[in-house]
């Protein structure tokens, strides 16, 4: 028999009170943790947004050629003003705003940091003296943003149809699938990059891929066909009609996420699919916001499109051009190319012809520019050596008022003799300038920069880069210059 005394009933009551108290404290602590985490997450988003806006603001000032001073303090101060406008003023309430410029790579970086206190945790965690223990003082929240800019006018790199689909050149356009590493030489299509710390997420990956401007003269006719040579990623091997040139490269390593910022190798040979999206530019080629999608196609391994000019887009010029731009400008077109899946390389080229043309791939008459049309890569161009040899990359037209002309190239190292130098020439003179001797010796995932000097009496010319490389040398090229500020450069947030 169990007896219940007044003392035991009192102990039971105390136990229940203590249990309720500890339970309440536990729930309160858990609530504090959840509230703090949510608050910090929101603050992190706010800081990241402010860093993005600030980086774009600073880069925009440089793109408008408003550097003002040699050490970029004007652009840096402008970026900090934007951070303050968005609630993060340098030196106030524990906020630190750091801004810097890498004019070699044309990158503007902003980092914002602030220690965020715990809302409930600081009330719960005070010691007997009313002070916060070190662990309850909150967390340091920071965000970093990098905006890429070009001066005055970004390079409109020419695409010449004769270098692909025709026997006289080793170069074509080449995109790798996103399940690849940037070490292959295509900086913007690969989701991963091989670093000293292993495979990591490529912060420069660009889902939108590469942009090409398509110009068609007004007297071209009522319609046009944008042809893509070998638009699929079908097979590896050689084409006997092209002097052993490789169109696409299969059998490449596949990379997949491995948690967090890590990636890992996972087999080989995943079919690459490429999305081609054609837009009308609304008569404003430098403003993408008013572009209208005409048609979009995605092509994988399709033997019916392999190694031939494919009539990918037929354009009704009369219908589109009847609209005109806001000031009566002629409407032209933008082609966006991006790989959406896979790890292999897709090599291709572009040209515009009139409907019904049956000219062969070896007919020079209707290559890009031969019929009044023009296709240029907007800002950067992905070039691949389909076979070893001497190739020529047309970098674009540089006007007479250009200053500080720079050519940048990413990962030009495959099959190139260490110490070799690129030869830069222009169409207006016999002037030859040599690039940095690091070509072939700089290693993977590295930007190399060559400044170009305008010769005496320079009145504007098209510049080209000539160099020798081995098969499968993929390189991402850029050209930009400081001019008179009549047309602003380009700005985009890259990471």
Q: Note the pLDDT tens digit of each residue in 377-418.
A: 888 888 888 777 788 888 888 888 787 788 888 876 666 776
Q: Check whether residue 432 and residue 466 sit in a common domain.
A: yes
Q: Check whether residue 256 and residue 336 sit in a common domain.
A: yes
Cα of first residue to Cα of last residue in the chain, in angstroms, is: 75
pLDDT at residue 342, as a whole number: 94
Q: Check whether residue 137 and residue 254 sit in a common domain.
A: no
Q: Check whether residue 137 and residue 219 sit in a common domain.
A: no
Q: Check whether residue 188 and residue 66 sit in a common domain.
A: no
pLDDT at residue 440, as a whole number: 64
Q: Check whether residue 411 and residue 281 sit in a common domain.
A: yes
- 461: domain range? 153-493
pLDDT at residue 200, as a whole number: 92
Residue 109 in any domain: the answer is yes
- Is the pLDDT higher at 6 or at 489? 489
Q: Check whether residue 271 and residue 192 sit in a common domain.
A: yes
With beta carbons less than 8 A apart as the criterion, state whether 470 and 414 touch: yes
CA 14 vs. chain centroid, Å, equals 66
Percent of the chain with pLDDT over 90: 24
Residue 355 in any domain: the answer is yes
Q: Check whether residue 263 and residue 362 sit in a common domain.
A: yes
Q: Check whether residue 188 and residue 302 sit in a common domain.
A: yes
**Distances in Å between the alpha carbon of 177 and those of 150, 199, 458?**
27, 16, 41
Sign of CA dihedral 296, 334, 352, 309: negative
The string of pLDDT tens digits covering residues 423-439 is 899 888 888 898 877 66
Query: Which residue among 98, 130, 149 closes a domain?
Result: 149
pLDDT at residue 19, as a whole number: 55
Query: Which residue among 108, 127, 149 closes a domain?
Result: 149
Q: pTM here?
A: 0.75
Highest mean pLDDT, choosing among 87-96, 128-137, 334-343, 443-452:
334-343
Q: Check whether residue 82 and residue 175 sit in a common domain.
A: no
Residue 1 in any domain: the answer is no
pLDDT, the chain, mean: 79
Question: Distance between CA atoms of 170 and 238, rounded to whole angstroms?
Answer: 12
Total domains present in the chain: 2
Percent of the chain with pLDDT over 70: 73
Helix (H) or strand (E) holding 209: none
pLDDT for residue 291 is more than 80: yes
Q: Check whether residue 295 and residue 371 sit in a common domain.
A: yes
pLDDT band at 366 (very low <50, low <70, confident <90, very high): low
Question: Distance between CA atoms of 312 and 97, rounded to whole angstroms?
Answer: 49
pLDDT at residue 118, as a whole number: 63
The string of pLDDT tens digits covering residues 465-475 is 888 887 778 88
Pick from 173, 172, 210, 171: nearest CA to 189: 210
Q: Check whether residue 75 and residue 187 sit in a common domain.
A: no
C-alpha torsion angle, residues 54, 63, 275, 367 (rounded to 10): 180
pLDDT at residue 167, as a whole number: 47
Query: Which residue among 149, 180, 207 closes a domain?
Result: 149
pLDDT at residue 224, as a whole number: 92
């Amino acid at each position: 028999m169990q007896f219940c005394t007044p003392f035991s009933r009192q102990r039971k009551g105390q136990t229940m009170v203590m249990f309720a108290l500890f339970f309440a404290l536990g729930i309160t602590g858990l609530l504090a943790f959840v509230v703090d985490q949510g608050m910090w997450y929101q603050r992190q988003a706010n800081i990241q947004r402010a860093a993005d806006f600030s980086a774009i603001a600073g880069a925009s000032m440089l793109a408008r050629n408003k550097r003002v001073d040699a050490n970029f303090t004007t652009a840096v101060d402008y970026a900090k003003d934007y951070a303050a406008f968005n609630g993060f003023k340098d030196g106030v309430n524990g906020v630190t705003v750091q801004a810097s410029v890498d004019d070699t790579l044309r990158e503007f970086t902003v980092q914002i940091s602030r220690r965020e206190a715990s809302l409930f945790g600081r009330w719960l965690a005070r010691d007997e003296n009313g002070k916060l223990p070190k662990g309850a003082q909150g967390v340091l929240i920071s965000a970093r943003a990098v905006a890429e800019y070009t001066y005055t006018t970004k390079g409109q790199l020419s695409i010449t149809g004769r270098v692909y689909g025709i026997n006289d050149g080793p170069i074509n356009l080449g995109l790798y699938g996103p399940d690849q590493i940037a070490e292959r030489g295509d900086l913007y299509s690969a989701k991963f990059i091989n670093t000293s710390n292993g495979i990591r997420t490529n912060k420069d990956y660009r889902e939108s891929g590469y942009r090409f401007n398509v110009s068609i003269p007004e007297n071209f006719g009522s319609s046009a066909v944008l042809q893509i040579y070998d638009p699929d990623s079908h097979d590896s091997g050689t084409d006997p009609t092209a002097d052993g040139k490789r169109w696409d490269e299969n059998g490449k390593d596949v990379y997949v996420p491995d948690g967090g910022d890590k990636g890992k190798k996972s087999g080989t040979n995943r079919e690459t699919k490429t999305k081609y999206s054609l837009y009308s530019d609304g008569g404003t080629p430098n403003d993408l916001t008013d572009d209208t999608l005409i048609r979009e196609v995605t092509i994988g391994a399709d033997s019916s499109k392999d190694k031939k000019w494919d009539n990918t887009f037929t354009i009704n010029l009369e219908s589109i051009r009847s609209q005109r731009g806001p000031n009566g400008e002629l409407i032209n077109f933008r082609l966006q190319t991006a790989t959406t899946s896979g790890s292999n390389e897709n090599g291709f080229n572009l040209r515009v012809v009139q409907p019904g043309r049956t000219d062969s791939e070896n007919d020079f008459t209707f290559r890009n520019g031969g019929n009044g049309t023009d296709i240029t890569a907007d800002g950067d161009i992905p070039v691949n050596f389909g076979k070893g040899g001497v190739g020529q990359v047309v970098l674009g037209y540089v006007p007479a008022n250009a200053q500080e002309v720079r050519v940048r190239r990413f990962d030009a190292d495959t099959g190139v003799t260490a110490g070799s130098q690129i030869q830069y020439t222009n169409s207006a003179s016999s002037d030859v300038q040599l690039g940095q001797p690091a070509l072939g010796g700089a290693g993977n995932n590295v930007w190399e920069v060559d400044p170009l000097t305008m010769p005496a009496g320079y009145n504007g010319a098209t510049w080209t880069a000539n160099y020798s490389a081995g098969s499968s040398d993929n390189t991402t090229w850029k050209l930009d210059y400081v001019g008179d500020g009549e047309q602003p450069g380009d700005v985009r947030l890259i990471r």
